[in-house]
C-alpha cells in the first residue's frame, strides 16, 4: 500500500493521502512538530495485520523524511507501532532510532487495551528510545495516565479528553472527576475546586454550572475552561517537580489526593514499581482495608469531630482519640493516615479556608497535620497490633532468646501509661509551639453531623467489621491462655471478613505492599537468626559492651546511651521496618551484653521504633502521607519533629522508668 484512502468529511468523496502529501500539508501549515504518516490499527486486533501495519509504518517514515522540505525549521517525529506485541514494538523502535529523528511518538495505544498492557508498552518504548529526544505518547489525556507515563519516561501527550468530558458535564479535580449533572450539585454553593484559582472557580458555583450543563452550551464552555486550566496546572506542577528533584513526592501527593482511601489501581502500583517510585504510603493493606472499605474508620473519626470539634484543640483531641481507638485493629500508621485521617483533616481545613501550599495553611491544616502526625507514633506504640514492625521486633527478640510472655497484654501494660500521657499532652504542646491561627471551629460539629447524616445508619458490613475487630482483639488479649497465637487470630479475622463479603480475594491480592511485608519479614527474621547463630551479633555486642564498660557505665546508663543512639540513627533511615531489620537485633544484643534486663530492652527498643516515625518527612509511611498533603513546610517538620522527640524522651523516660519498675520489668 502506497497511500491511505478515506472518505472526505466535507462531501463524502473518496480521498487519497500519501506520506509525501501528508508532509507537504504539514510543511505548509508550518507547525514546530510534524508527524510521519503511519498505519494505525486497534491494539485489540491480533494476527498478521499488526505486523503488516508496523512494517508499513517503517517504510513510510523514509518517504516522509525524503519529502520533508523544512528539516531545519520543523521537527519530524516518527511513530512507534506494533500493537501489544513486544517483539514488533522492539523492531519498530530500533528502526526509527536508526533514522536519528528529532523526536519519537508511541502510537497505537488508548484504543481499548487493558491498562496493564498499556503501561508495559509505554515502559518498553521509553526505555529503548533515546533519553535526549522527546518521547510523545499519542492519544493519552487522563491525568492518572499522564502521571504514570511521565514516571515511565514520557514527555509529551495529546488528547481531547479535557474538553470532551466537559461537554458531558464533568469537571477534572485533584480527587478525580466531579459530575456537575448530578442532582446533588443543584444546591452546592462551593466552587468546582476550592484550591483552583481559575476564572471559573473564582466566579461560579457548582450549583450555577449544574443549572447550565443540563440546558445551555455555556456550561460546557465553562467546564472546558476549568478542565484546561486544571491540565495546565497539572503539567506545570509535574514539570517543576522533575526540575527540582521531587518528582516521587509529587507522584505520591497526586495519588493520595485521587485515592484517599488507599485503593490505588494495581496497574498503577505495577507501573510505578518499574519506574522505581515507592507508593506504599499511598496504598492500604489488609485486613485493615476493611476499615476503609466499609467506612467504619471514617465514621468513628467523624463522631469524635462532632463531639469534641468546637475548638481547634478539641478537634485535634477528637482525631487523636479516634486513632488510638482504631489502632489495635488497623496495624498501619500509613493506612490510618491516608485512608482515614488525612481526608478528614483536608475537608475540615478547606472548610475553614485553610489551603495547602498557601499562607492560609497555618490557619488550621498545618496544626492538625502536625498534631496527628506526632500523635500517630504513640498510638502505634500503645498496642502490639497497631503497627507491623511491632510484631517483627518481638520475633527478632525471640531469636536472641528474649521471650515476652502473653505478648499483647504485656506490651499494652508496659506502653499504656507513658503512651497515654504522651497522647494527652502532644496536641496541647503543639498548640503552644506550633499554634493554629484559627482557635475556634464552631462549624466543625455541624459539618460532622451532616456528614454522619449523609452516611446513614451503620451498615451491615460495618457491624461485621466491629464484631470482627472485637473478636480479633479478644483473641490477641486471651490468646496465650487458650493457645491461639497472634498470627492465627489475625488470619481468623481476615477469613471472617472474606467469608462475609466485607473484603474479597481481589482486595487481598491487590495489596502488594502487604505481601512484600510478609515476604521481607521472613527474610529479615531468617537473616537475624543466621547472624545470631554464626556469632556475629554476639561478637559485635560484646565489643560495644566492653567499650561501654570501659567508661564504667552502669546498666541503666548504658541503656539510656543505646536507646538514644538507636533513636537518633533513624535520621539516616527512610523506613521503620528497614531500621528494625538492620539494627534492632544488634542493639538488643548490646543491651543484653551491658546487663539490661531482656524484656525491658526488647520492649523499649520496639517503643522507640514507633516514636522515631515522626522525626522527618521521610521517617515513615505516614510521614510521606502527611507531608505530601502540602500543609506543612519542610523546616517545620524537622523542627517540630526534634522538639517532640525530646518531649517523648522525657515522658517515656520519666513516666516509663517508674511504671516499668512498678510492673517488675527491672
Q: Are residue 210 and residue 81 in the same domain, yes or no?
A: no
Angle at 259 between CA 256 and CA 260, to 5 degrees: 65
Tell how strand 14-17 and strand 4-7 pair up.
antiparallel
> Which among 471, 491, 510 is the end of a domain?
510
The pLDDT of residue 333 is 81
* Coil, helix or strand at residue 94: helix
- In sequence order, the β-bridge partners of residue 176 are 173
Q: Is residue 372 part of a domain?
A: yes
Query: Residue 590 and residue 612: Cα distance in Å, rounded?
Result: 20
Residue 393 lies in a domain: no
Contact 566, 645 (CB under 8 A): no
Residue 285 covered by a domain: no
Confirm whether 574 is domain-assigned.
Answer: yes
Query: H/E/C letters for each residue in 483-511?
Result: CCCHHHHHHHHHHHHHHCCCCCHHHHHCC
**Rounded Cα distance, 470 and 315, in Å:** 26
Judgement on whether residues 527 and 497 belong to the same structural domain of the protein: no
What 3-state DSSP class applies to 53? helix
For residues 470 and 379, membership in a common domain is answered with yes
- CA dihedral (346, 350, 351, 354) in degrees, to 10, reads 120
One domain for residues 504 and 518: no
Q: What is the mean pLDDT of each run of 10 residues along the chain (666 residues)?
A: 70 86 95 94 84 94 96 96 91 95 93 86 92 94 95 94 94 93 90 92 94 87 96 94 90 87 80 80 55 68 85 93 89 76 82 84 94 95 90 88 91 97 97 94 84 82 84 78 75 83 68 52 55 62 66 87 92 81 86 92 96 89 79 92 96 95 94
Cα–Cα distance between 164 and 179 in angstroms, integer? 13
Strand partners, 77: 35, 103
- Cα(120)–Cα(149) distance, integer angstroms: 10
Report pLDDT for 541.
Answer: 59
- Which strand ranges, in their side-by-side order, compose the sheet holding 75-80? 33-35, 75-80, 103-106, 135-137, 156-157
CA distance 562 to 600: 13
The DSSP element (H or E) to which 156 belongs, if any, is: strand 156-157
Kind and range of the H or E run holding 551: none
Residue 408 near residue 384 (C-beta atoms within 8 A): yes
Strand partners, 613: none
Residue 447 burial (CB count, 10 A): 18
Rg over alpha carbons for the chain, rounded to the nearest Å, is 29
Residue 185 CA to residue 192 CA, distance in Å, equals 10
Q: Parallel, antiparallel, or unpaired: how do β-strands 33-35 and 75-80 relate?
A: parallel
Same domain? 563 vs 525: yes
Q: Which domain holds residue 651?
A: 512-663
Q: Please check whether residue 396 lies inside any domain of the structure.
A: no
- Terminal CA-CA length for the chain: 87
- Looking at the fold, whether 231 and 259 belong to one and the same domain comes out as yes
Q: How is residue 340 annotated by DSSP?
A: I
Domain boundary among 242, 275, 308: 275
Please list the helix, strand and coil fractions of the chain in percent, rounded to the nearest 5, in that order: 65, 5, 30
Separation between Cα atoms, residue 369 and residue 349, nearest integer Å: 10
Residue 118 lies in a domain: yes
CA-nearest of 57, 77, 52 to 138 is 77
498 and 531, same domain (yes or no): no
Q: Are 339 and 284 in contact (CB under 8 A)?
A: yes
The answer as to whether 152 is a domain residue is no
498 in the same domain as 360: yes
190 CB-near residues (< 8 Å, 6+ apart): 205, 206
In terms of domains, do 119 and 205 share one? no
CATH number, domain containing residue 26: 3.20.20.105
Same domain, 493 and 528: no
Is residue 621 classed as helix, strand or coil in its secondary structure?
helix
Rounded distance between C-alpha atoms, residue 35 and residue 103, angstroms:
10
The number of folded domains in the chain is 4
Burial string for 350-384 (b: 16+ CB within 10 Å, else e) reads bebebbbeeebbbbbbbbbbbbbbbbbbbbbbbbb
Cell 485493615 -> residue? 288
| Count of CB atoms situated within 10 Å of the CB of 217 | 10
Backbone φ/ψ region at 117: left (φ over 0), alpha (ψ -120 to 50), beta: alpha
* Cα gap 104→64, rounded to integer Å: 14
Residues 480 and 500 in one domain: yes
128 shares a domain with 255: no
Q: At a CB cut-off of 8 Å and minimum separation 6, what does 596 contact?
A: 555, 558, 559, 562
Residue 612 in grid coordinates:
522515631
CA-closest candidate to residue 158, choices 133, 138, 134: 138
Q: Pick the last residue of a domain from 459, 488, 510.
A: 510
For 388, counting Cβ atoms within 10 Å of its Cβ (0-12 exposed, 13-18 middle, 19+ buried), the class is buried
Cα distance between residue 447 and residue 453, in whole Å: 10
Do the domain assignments include residue 150? no
Q: Angle of helix 19-29 relative to helix 48-67, nearest 10 degrees?
A: 50
pLDDT at 429: 97
CA gap 513, 283 in Å, rounded: 8
Amino acid at each position: 500500500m502506497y497511500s491511505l484512502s478515506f472518505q472526505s468529511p466535507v462531501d463524502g468523496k473518496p480521498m487519497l493521502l500519501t506520506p509525501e502529501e501528508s508532509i507537504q500539508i504539514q510543511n505548509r501549515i508550518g507547525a514546530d512538530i510534524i508527524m510521519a504518516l503511519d498505519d494505525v490499527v486497534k491494539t485489540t486486533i491480533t494476527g498478521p495485520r499488526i505486523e503488516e501495519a508496523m512494517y508499513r509504518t517503517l517504510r513510510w517514515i523514509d518517504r516522509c523524511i525524503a519529502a520533508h522540505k523544512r528539516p531545519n525549521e520543523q521537527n519530524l517525529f516518527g511513530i512507534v507501532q506494533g500493537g501489544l506485541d513486544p517483539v514488533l514494538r522492539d523492531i519498530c523502535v530500533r528502526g526509527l532510532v536508526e533514522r536519528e529523528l528529532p523526536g519519537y511518538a508511541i502510537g497505537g495505544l488508548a484504543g481499548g487495551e487493558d491498562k496493564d498492557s498499556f503501561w508495559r508498552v509505554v515502559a518498553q518504548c521509553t526505555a529503548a528510545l533515546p533519553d535526549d529526544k522527546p518521547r510523545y505518547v499519542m492519544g493519552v489525556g487522563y491525568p492518572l495516565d499522564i502521571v504514570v507515563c511521565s514516571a515511565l519516561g514520557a514527555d509529551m501527550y495529546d488528547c481531547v479528553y479535557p474538553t470532551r468530558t466537559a461537554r458531558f458535564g464533568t469537571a477534572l479535580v485533584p480527587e478525580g472527576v466531579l459530575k456537575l449533572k448530578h442532582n446533588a450539585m443543584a444546591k452546592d454553593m462551593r466552587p468546582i475546586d476550592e484550591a483552583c484559582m481559575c476564572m471559573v472557580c473564582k466566579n461560579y458555583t457548582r450549583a450555577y454550572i449544574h443549572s447550565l450543563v443540563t440546558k445551555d452550551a455555556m456550561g460546557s464552555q465553562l467546564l472546558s475552561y476549568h478542565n484546561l486550566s486544571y491540565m495546565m496546572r497539572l503539567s506545570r506542577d509535574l514539570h517543576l517537580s522533575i526540575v527540582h528533584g521531587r518528582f516521587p513526592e509529587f507522584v505520591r501527593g497526586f495519588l493520595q489526593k485521587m485515592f484517599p482511601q488507599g485503593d490505588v489501581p494495581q496497574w498503577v502500583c505495577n507501573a510505578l514499581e518499574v519506574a522505581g517510585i515507592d507508593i506504599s504510603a499511598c496504598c492500604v493493606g489488609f485486613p485493615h482495608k476493611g476499615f476503609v472499605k466499609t467506612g467504619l474508620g471514617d465514621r468513628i473519626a467523624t463522631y469524635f469531630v462532632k463531639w469534641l470539634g468546637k475548638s481547634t484543640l478539641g478537634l485535634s483531641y477528637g482525631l487523636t482519640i479516634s486513632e488510638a481507638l482504631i489502632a489495635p485493629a488497623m496495624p498501619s500508621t500509613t493506612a490510618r493516615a491516608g485512608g482515614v485521617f488525612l481526608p478528614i483533616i483536608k475537608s475540615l481545613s478547606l472548610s475553614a479556608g485553610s489551603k495547602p501550599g498557601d499562607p492560609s495553611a497555618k490557619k488550621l491544616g498545618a496544626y492538625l497535620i502536625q498534631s496527628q502526625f506526632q500523635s500517630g507514633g504513640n498510638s502505634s506504640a500503645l498496642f502490639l497490633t497497631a503497627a507491623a514492625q511491632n510484631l517483627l521486633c518481638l520475633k527478632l527478640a525471640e531469636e536472641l532468646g528474649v521471650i515476652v510472655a502473653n505478648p499483647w497484654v504485656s506490651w499494652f501494660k508496659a506502653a499504656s501509661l507513658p503512651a497515654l500521657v504522651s497522647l494527652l499532652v502532644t496536641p496541647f504542646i503543639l498548640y503552644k509551639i506550633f499554634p493554629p491561627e484559627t482557635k475556634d471551629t464552631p462549624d466543625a460539629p455541624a459539618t460532622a453531623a451532616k456528614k454522619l447524616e449523609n452516611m446513614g445508619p451503620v451498615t451491615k458490613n460495618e457491624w461485621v467489621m466491629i464484631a470482627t475487630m472485637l473478636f480479633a482483639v479478644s483473641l490477641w488479649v486471651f490468646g496465650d491462655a487458650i493457645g491461639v497465637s497472634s498470627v492465627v487470630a489475625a488470619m481468623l479475622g481476615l477469613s471472617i471478613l472474606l467469608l462475609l463479603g466485607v473484603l474479597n480475594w481481589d482486595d487481598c491480592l491487590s495489596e502488594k505492599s502487604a505481601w512484600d511485608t510478609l515476604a521481607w519479614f521472613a527474610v529479615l527474621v531468617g537473616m537475624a537468626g543466621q547472624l545470631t547463630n554464626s556469632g556475629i551479633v554476639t561478637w559485635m555486642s560484646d565489643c560495644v559492651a566492653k567499650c561501654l564498660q570501659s567508661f564504667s557505665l552502669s546498666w541503666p546508663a548504658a541503656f539510656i546511651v543505646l536507646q538514644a543512639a538507636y533513636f537518633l540513627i533513624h535520621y539516616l533511615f527512610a523506613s521503620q521496618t528497614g531500621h528494625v531489620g538492620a539494627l534492632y537485633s544488634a542493639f538488643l544484643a548490646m543491651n543484653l551484653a551491658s546487663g539490661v534486663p531482656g524484656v525491658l530492652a526488647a520492649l523499649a527498643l520496639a517503643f522507640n521504633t514507633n516514636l522515631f516515625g515522626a522525626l522527618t518527612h521521610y521517617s515513615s509511611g505516614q510521614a510521606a502521607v502527611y507531608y505530601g498533603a502540602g500543609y506543612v513546610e519542610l523546616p517545620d517538620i524537622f523542627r517540630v519533629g526534634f522538639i517532640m522527640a525530646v518531649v517523648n524522651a522525657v515522658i517515656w523516660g520519666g513516666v516509663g522508668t517508674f511504671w516499668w519498675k512498678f510492673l517488675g520489668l527491672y
